[in-house]
Amino acid sequence: MFEVSRLHRLDNGSTLKAFADVLIGDLLLIKGVRVVSKNGSGLFVSMPTQKAKDGKWYEIVRLLDNGTKQELQEVVLRAYNTE
């Protein structure tokens, strides 16, 4: 279902480790999925966000099913760890 079409690693010493573009079937491309390192907790995947007028950051794309979120995270982290 999910396929990483592009992965761009960052070597800047910050918690942001990479950006990925994820293809869902042949129907949808999500650009800007982030691989983030959380202090001592390992890596996790964050959906693209946008800053609103109230100064808070909100997800542009939200996966509503926990199983789907888990699948996306596994696919992106597998691509990150193998490249």
Q: Give 74's pLDDT tier (boundaries 50, 70, 90).
A: very high
> What does pTM read for this prediction?
0.88
Model pLDDT, residue 62: 92
What is the predicted pLDDT for the residue at 39? 79
Alpha helices per DSSP H over 1-83: 66-82
Q: Give residue 19's pLDDT.
A: 96
CATH superfamily for domain 2-82: Stage V sporulation protein G (3.30.1120.40)
Task: Report the pLDDT value the prediction gives residue 47, as an integer from 0 to 100.
Answer: 95
Q: What is the pLDDT of residue 13?
A: 81
Cβ atoms of 23 and 2 within 8 Å: the answer is yes
| CB-based contact 32:23 (threshold 8 Å) | no
Residue range 30-70, pLDDT digits in tens: 999 999 998 777 899 999 999 999 999 999 999 999 999 99
